[in-house]
Amino acid sequence: MSFPWAKEYKPSHPLMQWLDEKLPLPRFVYNAVGAGYPVPRNLNYFWNFGILAGVCLMLQIVTGVVLAMHYAANSGVAFDSVEHIMRDVNWGWMLRYAHANGASAFFVVVYIHIFRGFFFSSYKAPREMIWLLGVTIFLLMMATAFMGYVLPWGQMSFWGAKVITGLFSAIPVVGEPLQQWLLGGFAPDNAALNRFFSLHFLLPFVILGVVILHIWALHIPGSSNPTGVEVKTESDTVPFHPYYTAKDGFGLGVFAILYCTMLFFLPNALGHPDNYIQANPLSTPAHIVPEWYFWPFYAILRAFTADFLFIPAKLMGVLAMFSAILVWFFLPWLDTSPVRSGHYRPLFRKFFYLLVIDVLVLGYCGGSPAETKYVLISQIAATYYFLHFLVILPIVASIEKPAPLPFSITEAVLGKDDQTAPAA
């Protein structure tokens, strides 16, 4: 599971020795995030975001569980119970803002985590399974966030639920019954609200389970690093504790400053005023948009305005939106370059930054009204998005001449590596 030079857990206290024999939980923690886990010595701050994502998940679970003690999942009183949390429950306003902004923070952190993976090709062998589990976590996060946003039962909640479940009605033949089955009715109502609450409570724990698999799979090959060169000797690594517990602690402090700034000074900056109006099935808000973290995918959904061959535009949009994430599952096999790190891939690096810009453009269009110019930009940006993964990556991998790699992580850090053969 780890490198041969990993320190072994040796409990000194008789109680810990007794526990280690019966249930080696401290040993497990020691080997996972303690001194027993050797980690490349050259990790940069982009490697903080995995831990930060874990912190966000715990934050959401803790605030969510206490909010559930005050929230009532009934379409008659749900909106009022949220206002009750905001006005009457002790610290309710803070807990709710912490949860709402915690969702945004979670997505910021996870997007950086994912793009770290894109740049440093963290998905490549032997870490494909970590990547596949990660994409699964992201899909579960999207489902959880969507259902959570429905719970306050405001206008955006209601119409978001209607539009997103409406996506399923695009599926031929079974679409309409499927939508009614998902909602438990013909439009979002009490049945839908109740089941969304149930699933919104359940899914974070499913995510937690997949996160544990994600970390388990990570600890088999060990963490990747900014050079993309695999660990060769002990001098390439440092123990996770105290080196990265300290570094992650610092990163956590910076994160907490930014998060608390949002929470205490701009708690509604990322929300929609319309969601403070109770759900009204007879009136659609003039401009409905999902939460910011869905904007790039929403732009892809809206980019399809004309029927393509025999497929209706509506179904094309839905297929494209889901494909935009499903294509990530194939990434380990689309990018065939043997070099991992973008630092040593000059051509790939340019396309990586283009992809970042492309996704930002998609996000901007997804948050804008459905006007012709935004739809046109979305169409171009969505086309480029798929080109990047399906065409550009494989071609770049085959024509690119990568820059020379360092012999080892130690050499990359110190300029020389005494433990390995001197460079000829």
- List, by residue number, the catalytic residues: 219, 223, 247-248, 291
163/327 with CB nearer other proteins: 163
Stretch that binds other proteins, among 3-11, 16-24, 166-174, 238-246 (CB under 8 A): 166-174
Residue type, 181: W
Give yes or no for residue 314 binding other proteins (CB under 8 A): yes
| Rounded CA separation 319/307 (Å) | 13
Binding test (CB under 8 A) with other proteins, winner from 283, 346, 414, 416: 283
- Is residue 102 a contact partner of residue 63, using CB atoms and an 8 Å limit? yes
CB neighbour burial string for 363-392, b if at least 16 within 10 angstroms, e if fewer = bbbbbbeeeeebbebbbebbebbeebbeeb
Give the residue with the Cβ less far from other proteins, 53 or 303. 303
Q: In whole angstroms, how close is the CB of 168 to other proteins at the nearest point?
A: 10
With CB under 8 A as the contact rule, which of the stretches 256-264, 301-309, 402-410, 414-422 interacts with other proteins?
301-309
Q: Which residue in 17, 44, 261, 284 binds other proteins (CB under 8 A)?
A: 284
- Residue 39's DSSP bridge partners are 238
List helix spans (H) across 295-371: 295-302, 313-326, 331-334, 346-366
Query: How far is residue 32's CA from residue 10's CA, in Å, rounded to a whole number?
Result: 15
Among 26, 166, 221, 267, binds other proteins (CB under 8 A): 166
Contacts of 10 (CB under 8 A, 6+ apart): none
Q: How far is the CB of 298 from other proteins (least distance, A)?
A: 10
Q: How many residues does the chain have?
A: 424
Using rule CB under 8 A, residue 229 touches other proteins = no
Nearest approach in angstroms of CB 110 to other proteins is 26
Is residue 302 at the binding interface for other proteins, with CB under 8 A as the rule? Answer: yes
Give the nearer residue to other proteins in terms of CB position, either 186 or 265.
186
Out of 2, 74, 278, 305, the residue judged to bind other proteins by CB under 8 A = 305
State the nearest-atom distance from the C-beta of 315 to other proteins, in Å: 8
Cβ 170 to other proteins shortest distance, Å:
8
Task: Name residue 354's amino acid.
Answer: L
Task: Candidates 24-32, 143-151, 216-224, 276-284: pick the segment binding other proteins (CB under 8 A).
Answer: 276-284
- From the list 43-51, 243-251, 285-293, 408-416, the region that binds other proteins by CB under 8 A is 285-293
Q: Which of residues 355-394 bind other proteins (CB under 8 A)?
A: 370-371
Torsion on CA atoms 287, 290, 293, 295, rounded to nearest 10: -50
The reply on whether position 163 binds other proteins by CB under 8 A is yes
Nearest to 160 by CA among 187, 199, 194: 187
* Contacting residue, 281, 308, 360, 390, with other proteins by CB under 8 A: 281
Q: What is the largest CA-CA distance in the chain?
A: 77
> Which span sits near other proteins by CB under 8 A: 177-185, 204-212, 268-276, 320-328?
177-185
* DSSP bridge partners of 38: 239
User: Which C-beta is closer to other proteins: that of 257 or that of 286?
Assistant: 286
Return the structure tokens found at 319: 């297929």
Read off the amino acid at residue 200: H
* Backbone torsions φ then ψ of 40, nearest 5 degrees: -50, 140
Local structure of residue 404 (DSSP, 8 states): P
In whole angstroms, the minimum distance from the beta carbon of 352 to other proteins comes to 32
Query: What tokens does 115 get?
Result: 């793009």
Site string for other proteins, 178-207 (x = CB under 8 A): --xxxxxxxx-x-x---x------------
Least Cβ distance, residue 145 to other proteins (angstroms)? 19
Closer by beta carbon to other proteins, 192 or else 229: 192
Contacts of 268 (CB under 8 A, 6+ apart): none
Residue type, 333: W
In the structure encoding, which two tokens stand for residue 61, read together?
A: 């679970």
Q: Does 132 bind other proteins (CB under 8 A)?
A: no
Q: Is 368 in a helix, a strand, or coil?
A: coil
Measure the N-to-C terminal CA separation of the chain; round to a whole number of Å.
33
List residues binding other proteins (CB under 8 A).
Answer: 159, 162-163, 165-167, 169, 180-187, 189, 191, 195, 281-284, 286-288, 302, 304-305, 312-314, 317, 370-371
